[in-house]
Structure 1
């Protein structure tokens, strides 16, 4: 059989290179039943050094162009627009009330100061624009070089694997365009029951994508921010923020922003929505773990084991009690080995299916308890699940596609999503192993946004967001 195979190879040698055969053994002239073939490939060896150079160039481009640089021009333009509006107001006051004496001189001095500051902003805008233009030109040149290198490397793809992948990507893009062109209006993603996710399994997290202190950079260490998963019409791009303005414990208003750019530069429009004139008092927000859903803010009621819902349209507050034995007033906080986060007993969360509440009770020995909030009027506590993870070993929780995730503190630069609980199956996983790269040591609240699959973190007065990656990220849904 061996002899037949070798002789068949002789009659039909591979096209990629010559084959030289001789009888096996030291004496090539001696007769033998076996034949040994020497295969010499005519293909060139793959230039791995060129591939490494292309990879390094692409990585350099990625590190050079950061989200912060992309937001710089937008932020400056928004700030300049705001200052120009203020200048118009100051000039109007000067024209109206100029008495030709001391008051007029003072008003004119204010206008001069405004003009000086505006000129400084224009100079900075021009400088940033020039830097961005130069950066774009440099990146275009580098990307052109990388494209040429990759075109040369593709010549080694004799089996045309890359070409098939590119063809598949073009087909997928064309299919997506056809689907989008055939749909009228905006498609809302399905609201899955717990444990069923239209995007597949949560597999990783990337970022940070956004990092800003807003208008109060460095102030108000505790708070929360995010997007409404079920916004009212016309408010789809709005963001909200809650800052604990009293003793890192209380807040009595929620602050709204019409766009992400407005939030980054600190321009609050439409502004604050006041829950109560005094703080703290009845219906005050207690703790940083608030969420927004369907035009209402959900939070831990002041000095109670209860959840409050503040309707921003009607300016009314309704509430419901948590089970007897629920820990509150900083008796069941999120913690790590060195510290605990005060008044984090009750954590609210949102996902594709609605609002959830995470807490702990004496009956469950301090372990996490998860309950679904029913959107009735007033709201009420729905189905409840008990877990076996101790709450004080957890630093934060959030919900994504009907699954509960918990984090723990690793060091000042990393947080780990280490635990998950699926309410549908009751399955717990203590080895999720997804790390979050932090910009500040402490993550004081986490909110998942199903609108864009972003995870919003409030970190020591900084607002940071991360992209949540699922198995089937090609299945994109938008509100």
Structure 2
């Protein structure tokens, strides 16, 4: 007998018993279905969460970076070997060339060891994930048997109907207009190469502060056209609270700071002071990552006023989205500020972009805010630094202790990416901890393990630019 028939019968029996006397009616209800396995459902949810946390794009991007590095090193090794063969003179070989080859072979072996480790780890991850996914599929199939009301099935049907409806609606909409090209001023044409270093100095504090930044203001205030600025991470290689000025390049090299310091705050660090070395000066204001916040700060040198704007939700900060090389990451390089002919840019990464570089234009005006934003497909931790020139984002990577490569570009006017730029920098020390292009003198300024270094840009139409003093 069905349950729907049992309940009225029980009620009728109860009325009959009540009419006969004080005795009560008892009905036993038996559920013929199995109890729902909540424990099994909890186990499946935990396994699914663990699977999601283990499978991230970082491992594949890391392996891609190693492969690209190996691809660059092998042709260089062949060139050096050919040069060594040309130097053959009887039984004599160049000891220096042999030493160079030995170092290159050792670095290539390190790359291959890291690559083999990454491949083995990814294979194990793939095998374990395959087994786990199969178990999850079987477990979910078993749980569907308990869906006697077919709720899950109807949900699947509804999802398909909703997807078809969305596609139908979107199909009736007009095609979106493409992103409008950004304004740019490149009178010298395309950036084609770089030479140097042209400037190489320890400055006023040789060897004292590993992290920092320096350069010129592309839009200087009147009377400060020849000034150079310097920001050193004076606390824990991470924080700073003042900017130091030099009246000329010669003053910077000999370490004579005539204008002196302009202080942001007496304490270091504290709210809205500097965090990380990637800072720039533009229009008489210093732009930098605010202390302990996913925010951009602007410090006006004249009024001493600080304005702040938050970066998009999910922006990685406090050393969660650093620039990296093969063996280490550079702490507190989450935000990179850059200048070019058009103004100030900020480069960062977010959780939504899975660690890929994001580029935003900083709008000029009394209120500090971000303008147009571009999303790239290059993984930030596979990059050692970035800079802007004529509206094009460039990224570098570590090749060796003496060589850095500009390997990537993103054109904001066209959205076109290039992973094979292939321009190399000769380094004076293993790590480049700050990099910024100066449209004033067409130099690329770098801060390398407490040394201030600059390189000369070579453009398509003119490569005879000189350094201003």
The two structures share one fold, judged by TM-score above 0.5: yes
Residue aligning to 1:352: 341
Alignment partners' CA distance in 1, 2:466 and 2:200: 25
Deviations 1:75-98 (A, max 9, x none): xxxxxxxxxxxxxxxxxxxxxxxx
Q: Which runs of 5+ in 1 are unaligned?
A: 1-191
Alignment of 1:248-327 (within 5 A): 248-327=237-316
**Structure 1 pair 337–476 and aligned structure 2 pair: CA distance change class (3 A):** closer
Maintained 8 Å contact 1:194/1:401: no
Give 3-state SS (helix, strand or coil) of 1:216's partner. coil
Aligned residue among 404, 426, 431 for 1:415: 404
Structure 2 partner of 1:243: 232
**1:210 and 2:193 aligned:** no
> What CA distance in whole angstroms lies between the structure 2 residues aligned with 1:339 and 1:475?
37
The match for 1:392 among 368, 376, 381 is: 381
Give me the whole-angstrom Cα distance separating, in 2, the residues matched to 1:475 and 1:269.
31
1:276 to partner: Cα distance: 0.1
**Corresponding residue SS for 2:381:** helix
Residue 327 of structure 2 corresponds to which residue in structure 1?
338
Q: Quick one: distance in 1 between partners of 2:220 and 2:435?
A: 19
Contact between 1:197 and 1:402, CA under 8 Å: does it hold in 2?
no
Cα–Cα, structure 1 residues 311 and 255, in superposed 2: closer, same or farther, change >3 Å?
A: same
Paired with 2:344 and 2:382, the residues of 1 have a C-alpha distance of: 23
CA change 1:195–1:433 in 2 (3 A) is farther
Following TM superposition, by how much is the alpha carbon of 1:311 offset from its aligned partner in structure 2, in angstroms?
0.4
2:429 to 434, 437, 440: 440
Taking structure 2 as the reference length, the TM-score comes to 0.60
Partner of 2:362: 373
Choose the corresponding residue for 2:451, options 457, 462, 476. 462
How many residues matched?
288
Residue pair 1:252, 1:284 contacting (<8 A) in 2 also:
yes
Query: Which is worse superposed, 469-478 or 383-392?
Result: 469-478
CA offset digits 1:106-126 (Å, max 9, x no partner): xxxxxxxxxxxxxxxxxxxxx
Structure 1 residues 472, 207: CA separation in 2 closer, same or farther (over 3 Å shift)? Answer: same
Task: Look up the SS of the partner of 1:230 in the other structure.
Answer: coil
Secondary structure of residue in 2 paired with 1:264 = helix
Task: Tell me the CA shift for residue 446 of structure 1.
Answer: 0.3
What is the rounded CA distance, in whole Å, between the counterparts of 1:477 and 1:296 in structure 2? 26
Q: Which of residues 193, 200, 223 is equivalent to 2:212?
A: 223
Q: CA deviation at 1:386?
A: 0.1
- Report if the CA contact (8 A) 1:229-1:450 is conserved: yes
Match of 1:32 in 2: none
* 1:363-386, Cα deviation, whole Å (9 max, x unpaired): 111000000000121210000000
Structure 2: 5+ residue runs without aligned partners? 1-180
Confirm or deny: 8 A CA contact 2:184 2:342 kept in the other structure: no
Instruction: State the Cα deviation string for residues 374-426 of structure 1 (Å, max 9, x = none).
Output: 01212100000000000000000000111000000001000000000001100
Q: Secondary structure at the match of 1:451?
A: coil
State the shift of 1:195 in Å: 5.7
Residue 197 of structure 1 and its aligned partner are, at CA, apart by 2.0
Contact 1:193 1:353 survives alignment (8 Å): no
Say if 2:466 is the partner of 1:473. no
- Per-residue CA shift, 1:416-442, capped at 9, x if unaligned? 000000011000000000000000110
1:427-476 Cα offsets, whole Å, 9 max, x none, are 00000000000001100000110001000000000000000111011697
Question: With structure 1 as the length reference, what TM-score do the two structures score?
Answer: 0.59
Cα 1:351/1:386, change in 2 over 3 Å: same
Contact 1:224-1:289 within 8 A present in 2 as well: yes
How big is each residue's C-alpha offset from its partner over 1:333-383, in whole Å with a ceiling of 9 and x where there is no partner? 000110000000000000000000000001111000000000121210000
Equivalent in the alignment of 1:364: 353
Q: For residue 186 of structure 2, what is the aligned residue in structure 1?
A: 197
Deviates more, 1:241-250 or 1:195-204: 195-204
Q: Cα RMSD (Å) of the superposition? A: 1.7
Distance 1:195 1:229 in 2: 15
Within the alignment, does 1:451 sit opposite 2:451 as a pair?
no
